[in-house]
Structure 1
Amino acid sequence: MNTIAEHIADFLKEYAPFNHLTFEELSEIATSIRVVNLEKHKILFQVNDVLHDSFYVVASGIISLSVIADSEETLLNKCTEGEIFGIRPFFAKNNYMMTAKAREESIVYAIPIAIFRPFVANNSDVLNYLLESFAVNTRNPKDKENLIGKLISDNVYYSGEKSEMQYFQSLSYNTSPLKTNSSAIVQDVAQIMTESLKNNIVVCDNNNPIGIITDTDMRSKIATGRYPITTTVDKIMSAPVITVMENVSLAEAQLLMLKYNVTHLCVTKDGTDKSNVKGIISENDLIIAQASNPGVLIKEIKRCQAPKELKQIRDRLTDLIQTSITKNIPVSHIFNIASEINLAIIKRSVELSILDLGSPPARFAWLSIGSQGRKEQLLLTDQDSILIFEDVSADKYREVKDYFLKLGKKTTTTLEEIGYALCPNGHMGSNTQWCKSLTDWIKQYDSWMNTPGENSNEISSIFFDYEIAFGEQKIEDTISDVVYKNAKNNILFFDFLGNDALRKNSPLSFFKNFNVEDEGPNKNKFDIKTRAILPLVDGARLFALNFEVRGINNTYQRFKQFAINDPRHAEIYLNCGEAFLTLSKFRTLEGLKNDSSGQFINLDELSKLDRDKLKSALAPMRELEELIKSKFKLTQFS
């Protein structure tokens, strides 16, 4: 074996998915690998290029992957040493959907797909790695949180939000498929298929699948006269069958059908053809499954007539979140899906109140605030809202406000019945203090922002995270105008908000141990909400107001935006965004496990790996704290 191939095999064995192969296998592959030298800014492939016959591994340098969206180039990912990219030709037939370009002088290894494919077919770890990489287009499926919002362009299935669901969904399929053995006569089998109204039959040996016959096989092989009708089924069956586990998701099933160019998958006990047949998944099952995407759930929400119907859909959302987390769906995706469904539920709750009370006497906006306003509510935590109605003449004010207080009361009661607890601090549209006219709200925001220390017991920073759930967009826009006008050069306000953001207790002690609760019902547990998540949320809000980032409320998305606004500190922001997703996942898992708000983590129940992961997610907070102190020249903490 030549020394170059040996050197390449040595390099590859350190990185996934090649670490799942033996050195002999890698050496065999390495002899066919091409070494490609790329100068800085050199493009390897771009959007709409015909697919190459190879995929790539970065040997040295950095390759950026980008797409053009809304006529702007958006960086999706940076691939560094050992990372794979350009795996589209494995799974798709259409052209590239992104551009790969060298950010600096780079060397990449081109691995011919024809050579590599057999190793994928025989090694489920390698296949899973590639499927996941392709499906979520991250640098590394083990690090799925690297996903970039909705720009998942190296995937044929993603077309915006509606299909994000495909990673969450389990499939319904035929669990009692027709079976036959290899010596059966085609004529008899055709008779069985016709009588059962089924278009496929699995050929088994001892109940293990060895082939499948579909209508297509009958048409192309029997009807054309290639084989007589008296032939045995083993002559015309498609073999081998592609087998999957029982809990396969919609997206995984789609990827496999595409990859192997088949229309049916055979479900077996252990996912291999060496175990019993449990069912058959057809292309039609995939089409039906698509129907339960968020769009369909949202349509169902719009038809709901009572809180208990809405509660059933909210329970389905909880199941969906549970499944998604188990399947390692990127948390940023789960936020997108959950927030759309939560928002639709709130909107319908307001509509039901209006149907009951009659038309509102004035235009208004119902705003979700806090975690709902930030699109970060995965668990059934409490509800936070404000109600703003347009200005009316003084003689009408009392009557109009009475109507909206009733509307607020009805809506918050409905949401409580659905499972969203009432806010313990009373931050809800049903509270006379938080249900008032636009002018009164403008005065409220003016007072909070221009004399922040004077009524600080009343200012809650969650009022700066809001999302319209129902009503007039113009009302929300007016509030935003007031907020950003007041924020401009408002040293006092940023001093107050900055100090408030730094007031949370540190998550780790001086000796890098977790600071846990000293007493009370959660003694020795870690308060992940107050000590870890809130400082990131508060920091993101602070910078959003400072950079005038409008229309992005989600903490993760905010941090990503700051990296663009302030590239000098991009790394800190991106690390904080990743940390936020990791911490949110810990909290959600805790909440789902104990049917709680997930606020307190029992560290004893975490594996050492998870404890380390949690600890490393706390690291960027120190840098964020320093950045806040220097950026806002904070008096109290300087």
Structure 2
Amino acid sequence: MKNTISQRVADFLKNFPPFSFLKQMDLEIISEQITIIYKEKDSVVFALNEETHECFYVVHKGAVALRADQHSDIMDMCDEGDIFGLRPLIANENYKMEARAYEETILYAIPINVFRPYALEKKAVGNFLIESFASNTLNPFSKSHRGKLYGEEIEADTKLLDLQEVKYSKKIISCSSSTTAKEAAEIMLNKNVGAILVVENSLPIGIITDKDLRNKIVTGAFPITTLASEIMTAPVITYPTKMTITQAQMAMMKSDISHLCITVDGTINSKAVGMLSKHDVMVSIGNNPAVLLRAIKRAKKFKKIKLIRAGILHLLQGYLDQNIPMTLTSKIISELNDACTKQVIGIVLKKMDSQPPVKFSWLALGSQGRSEQLLQTDQDNALIYEDVAEELEEATKKYFLELATRINKGLFDIGYEYCPAEMMASNPDWCLSLSECKNKVHHWITNTGKNEVLLSFIFFDYSLAYGDSDLVNNLSDFIFEDVKANPTFYIHLVSGALQSQSPTGFFREFLLEQDGAHKDFFNIKNRALMPLADAARVLILSHSVKSISNTAERFEKLAELEPANSELYLACAYSYKALLKFRTKQGLLHNDSGQYISLDTLSKAEKIKLKSTFKTIKELQEIIRIRFNASNIL
């Protein structure tokens, strides 16, 4: 008869690394040796400089704070499924930090002597433990690795070519050592390849390239009946499957070759699984952001930009697959998307019958204005232009409406759908002189109805995509001064921010859509991302901070401005980036906006990780409610 307690422990552990790398039978054996420990809030699990225990720990319920000592700031916060206390497993020395229960907590204590054999035998288990021990980065509170999301192991300042994995051909064209040069050349011609691998017992022993045929056969040095074994280049230069662009380039330059053989373990003693040519490397470099940026700036037609945008999405997928930090990913993809917008505007301007009569600015609104539009969604933009004399107003507006209409059409042609609500510069309501724009914003601030608050939410997240920066700075100065002069606006802004629906119910279950086309789906945008974005906007406006529209960057700035709340704000920044990454992955996976998620497609571990990002929302909204005394109007 099975031990039901150990069975439940095993069922819990299998959802989290490194236990997820083990077989169910191994987990059950380990779970029989595990001790379950209850810790009250603020009780110590282990102290600084304490001798190491004979176990390490997994959080089952609650949370454990790791600090340098009792009075220092939290260095790391471990919650459900996180491991800590690995020092006795990795290093034979006393604990270098304190672990204290942050709330009522249940721990699983895993004996070192029971688990060590699995760590040594299973490479994935050992690597995970070593990386966890080295980094202590498991969640938003980790100071030394803030900005990383779960599973990320790559620093943001690493060179991009070192991060990008090169794509090799898995279609291997091969022959035997007894194949003649003529036969090898015919195979290469028929398969349209520049190299053929010579194999023996499925192992690579040599390679014949176009260069070998030119130098040895075409010159007459060898007859065409010569065997492959006599003209092949040997030994073959081999590498493992995981190879970056830089590694491939360096390998080819070092050996002055144009082809690499990819094998199972990277040596000539294992089966060949692919071939990598200089052409493959150049194709991979083609998805490098610097190359894409140059291609965008050279593009003369919308059709070309649309093709390049497909490359941008491929680059985005690669970054997510390689766990590139979301901060870096967002900056690069946003910069490339902005470059596409600028190029579209540049092309349209050249096609206009005349140059703009006055200076203008093209504003990106909403998610694009926050540099968070990673997927291809609809357009949100506006155009503002310099004030002109009354007699020139009609002609000036007519020009810019025509310009905006062509730009919106160009953006549509490269993949941006039209905004269903027509919040686009081609709409006269969003193509305004500077004075008209100020009047519109002033109306929102002084007439704070539901519609005005909604419009201000979208418009206040703007950034300059093209044109004159002085116009934008002038507008920003006006907005902040007008907001200061109308403090009641904050109450309505806060009220709007607090209307966002909770992502989870009383028992922490996901709250799903109740009706409509997405019934029973989870709306990650409205229930998780928007509450954080709305709160960040309200708080940053209250500090009159200009030029920061990105939500995560707003929280990071707020952490500087309000040290007492810095821990919460940094956790919010982490959560937002994690949610944005999650939505982007879902969007790429299902070829949509990623807004609506079917929970059936998520693993239990993914659901737990997703829920962990919700923890900050309630606390953040409570701070806003108290600070702006908004409870009496909700």
TM-score band w.r.t. shorter chain = 0.5 to 0.7
1:66 aligned partner: none
Q: Indicate if the aligned counterparts of 1:379 and 1:588 stay in contact, CA closer than 8 A.
A: yes
AA of the residue aligned to 1:401 = K
Q: Indicate if the aligned counterparts of 2:154 and 2:323 stay in contact, CA closer than 8 A.
A: no
SS of corresponding position for 2:544: coil
SS of corresponding position for 2:330: helix
2:8 aligned partner: none
**For the structure 1 residues 591 and 17, does the alpha-carbon distance in structure 2 shift closer, same or farther, using more than 3 Å as the test?**
closer
Aligned equivalents of 2:129 and 2:247: distance in 1?
Answer: 11
1:330 aligned partner: 325
2:103 aligned partner: none
SS of corresponding position for 1:427: coil
Write the deviation string for residues 39-61 of structure 1: whole angstroms up to 9, x where unpaired. Answer: 9xxxxxxxxxxxxxxxxxxxx96
Q: Give 1:547 deviation, angstroms.
A: 2.5
Moved more, 288-297 or 388-397: 288-297
The one of 480, 486, 500 aligned to 2:482: 486
The one of 201, 210, 218 aligned to 1:206: 201
1:596 aligned partner: 592
Q: Give 1:591 deviation, angstroms.
A: 2.0
SS of corresponding position for 1:362: coil
- The 5-angstrom pairing of residues 278-297 of structure 1 reads 278-281=273-276, 289-290=284-285, 292-297=287-292
Q: Indicate if the aligned counterparts of 2:156 and 2:324 stay in contact, CA closer than 8 A.
A: no
Establish whether residue 267 from structure 1 lines up as the match of residue 240 from structure 2.
Answer: no
SS of corresponding position for 2:363: strand
SS of corresponding position for 2:558: helix
**For the structure 1 residues 168 and 202, does the alpha-carbon distance in structure 2 shift closer, same or farther, using more than 3 Å as the test?**
same
Aligned equivalents of 1:377 and 1:297: distance in 2?
Answer: 18
Q: Indicate if the aligned counterparts of 2:375 and 2:584 stay in contact, CA closer than 8 A.
A: yes
| TM-score, L = length of structure 1 | 0.67
Q: Give 1:376 deviation, angstroms.
A: 0.7
1:367 aligned partner: 363
1:244 aligned partner: 241
AA of the residue aligned to 1:208 = L
Aligned equivalents of 2:581 and 2:458: distance in 1?
Answer: 21
**For the structure 1 residues 563 and 211, does the alpha-carbon distance in structure 2 shift closer, same or farther, using more than 3 Å as the test?**
farther
Q: Indicate if the aligned counterparts of 1:243 and 1:265 stay in contact, CA closer than 8 A.
A: no
Write the deviation string for residues 395-447 of structure 1: whole angstroms up to 9, x where unpaired. Answer: 11110110100111111111112221111121111110110111111222223
Establish whether residue 276 from structure 1 lines up as the match of residue 274 from structure 2.
Answer: no
Establish whether residue 125 from structure 1 lines up as the match of residue 124 from structure 2.
Answer: yes
SS of corresponding position for 1:367: strand
Write the deviation string for residues 326-366 of structure 1: whole angstroms up to 9, x where unpaired. Answer: 33333322211211111011111111221111311111000
Q: Give 1:252 deviation, angstroms.
A: 7.4
2:550 aligned partner: 554
AA of the residue aligned to 1:477 = N
Q: Give 1:141 deviation, angstroms.
A: 11
AA of the residue aligned to 1:317 = I
Aligned equivalents of 1:548 and 1:287: distance in 2?
Answer: 47
SS of corresponding position for 2:426: coil
The one of 492, 497, 504 aligned to 1:501: 497
- The 5-angstrom pairing of residues 21-420 of structure 1 reads 62=68, 125=124, 139=137, 146-147=146-147, 158-159=158-159, 163=160, 167-168=163-164, 170-171=166-167, 206-209=201-204, 241-245=238-242, 248-250=243-245, 266-268=261-263, 275-281=270-276, 289-290=284-285, 292-357=287-352, 358-420=354-416
The one of 611, 615, 626 aligned to 1:630: 626
Aligned equivalents of 1:257 and 1:20: distance in 2?
Answer: 35
Q: Give 1:204 deviation, angstroms.
A: 5.9
Q: Indicate if the aligned counterparts of 2:236 and 2:261 stay in contact, CA closer than 8 A.
A: no
**For the structure 1 residues 396 and 573, does the alpha-carbon distance in structure 2 shift closer, same or farther, using more than 3 Å as the test?**
same
SS of corresponding position for 1:536: helix
SS of corresponding position for 1:402: helix
| TM-score, L = length of structure 2 | 0.67
SS of corresponding position for 1:379: coil
2:226 aligned partner: none
- The 5-angstrom pairing of residues 471-550 of structure 1 reads 471-488=467-484, 490-550=486-546
Q: Indicate if the aligned counterparts of 1:243 and 1:273 stay in contact, CA closer than 8 A.
A: no
AA of the residue aligned to 2:241 = V
Q: Indicate if the aligned counterparts of 2:483 and 2:489 stay in contact, CA closer than 8 A.
A: yes
AA of the residue aligned to 2:381 = S
Aligned equivalents of 1:624 and 1:156: distance in 2?
Answer: 28
AA of the residue aligned to 1:308 = K
**For the structure 1 residues 146 and 361, does the alpha-carbon distance in structure 2 shift closer, same or farther, using more than 3 Å as the test?**
same
**For the structure 1 residues 622 and 79, does the alpha-carbon distance in structure 2 shift closer, same or farther, using more than 3 Å as the test?**
closer
Q: Indicate if the aligned counterparts of 2:206 and 2:236 stay in contact, CA closer than 8 A.
A: yes
SS of corresponding position for 2:504: coil
Q: Indicate if the aligned counterparts of 1:62 and 1:79 stay in contact, CA closer than 8 A.
A: no
Write the deviation string for residues 139-166 of structure 1: whole angstroms up to 9, x where unpaired. Answer: 36999994369xx99969735xxx2x65
Aligned equivalents of 2:260 and 2:123: distance in 1?
Answer: 16
**For the structure 1 residues 567 and 359, does the alpha-carbon distance in structure 2 shift closer, same or farther, using more than 3 Å as the test?**
same
Aligned equivalents of 1:213 and 1:548: distance in 2?
Answer: 67
Moved more, 278-287 or 409-418: 278-287
Bigger relative contact order (CA 8 A; separation at least 6): 2
**For the structure 1 residues 512 and 156, does the alpha-carbon distance in structure 2 shift closer, same or farther, using more than 3 Å as the test?**
closer
Establish whether residue 574 from structure 1 lines up as the match of residue 570 from structure 2.
Answer: yes
Q: Indicate if the aligned counterparts of 1:579 and 1:617 stay in contact, CA closer than 8 A.
A: yes
Q: Give 1:585 deviation, angstroms.
A: 2.5
**For the structure 1 residues 155 and 133, does the alpha-carbon distance in structure 2 shift closer, same or farther, using more than 3 Å as the test?**
farther
AA of the residue aligned to 2:548 = I
SS of corresponding position for 1:387: strand
Q: Indicate if the aligned counterparts of 1:365 and 1:472 stay in contact, CA closer than 8 A.
A: yes
Q: Give 1:492 deviation, angstroms.
A: 0.9
Aligned equivalents of 2:472 and 2:552: distance in 1?
Answer: 22
Aligned equivalents of 1:423 and 1:237: distance in 2?
Answer: 60
Write the deviation string for residues 12-51 of structure 1: whole angstroms up to 9, x where unpaired. Answer: xxx9999999xxxxxxxxxxxxxxxx99xxxxxxxxxxxx
SS of corresponding position for 2:511: coil
AA of the residue aligned to 2:396 = V
2:6 aligned partner: none
Write the deviation string for residues 49-83 of structure 1: whole angstroms up to 9, x where unpaired. Answer: xxxxxxxxxxx9659xxxxxxxxxxx9x9899768
**For the structure 1 residues 574 and 156, does the alpha-carbon distance in structure 2 shift closer, same or farther, using more than 3 Å as the test?**
closer
1:448 aligned partner: 444
AA of the residue aligned to 2:291 = V
2:27 aligned partner: none
Moved more, 430-439 or 348-357: 348-357
- The 5-angstrom pairing of residues 424-443 of structure 1 reads 424-443=420-439
AA of the residue aligned to 1:369 = L
Moved more, 320-329 or 345-354: 320-329
1:49 aligned partner: none
Q: Indicate if the aligned counterparts of 2:237 and 2:261 stay in contact, CA closer than 8 A.
A: no
**For the structure 1 residues 454 and 213, does the alpha-carbon distance in structure 2 shift closer, same or farther, using more than 3 Å as the test?**
closer
Question: Once the two structures are aligned, what percentage of the paired residues are identical?
Answer: 35
Q: Indicate if the aligned counterparts of 1:321 and 1:334 stay in contact, CA closer than 8 A.
A: yes
1:68 aligned partner: none
Q: Give 1:555 deviation, angstroms.
A: 1.3
Q: Give 1:550 deviation, angstroms.
A: 2.5
AA of the residue aligned to 2:137 = R
Moved more, 432-441 or 199-208: 199-208
**For the structure 1 residues 459 and 127, does the alpha-carbon distance in structure 2 shift closer, same or farther, using more than 3 Å as the test?**
same
Q: Give 1:104 deviation, angstroms.
A: 8.3
Aligned equivalents of 2:539 and 2:457: distance in 1?
Answer: 13
**For the structure 1 residues 331 and 138, does the alpha-carbon distance in structure 2 shift closer, same or farther, using more than 3 Å as the test?**
farther
AA of the residue aligned to 1:449 = I
1:31 aligned partner: none
AA of the residue aligned to 1:434 = W
Aligned equivalents of 2:486 and 2:246: distance in 1?
Answer: 49
Establish whether residue 621 from structure 1 lines up as the match of residue 620 from structure 2.
Answer: no
Aligned residues: CA RMSD: 5.4
Aligned equivalents of 1:326 and 1:564: distance in 2?
Answer: 32
Aligned equivalents of 2:401 and 2:264: distance in 1?
Answer: 57
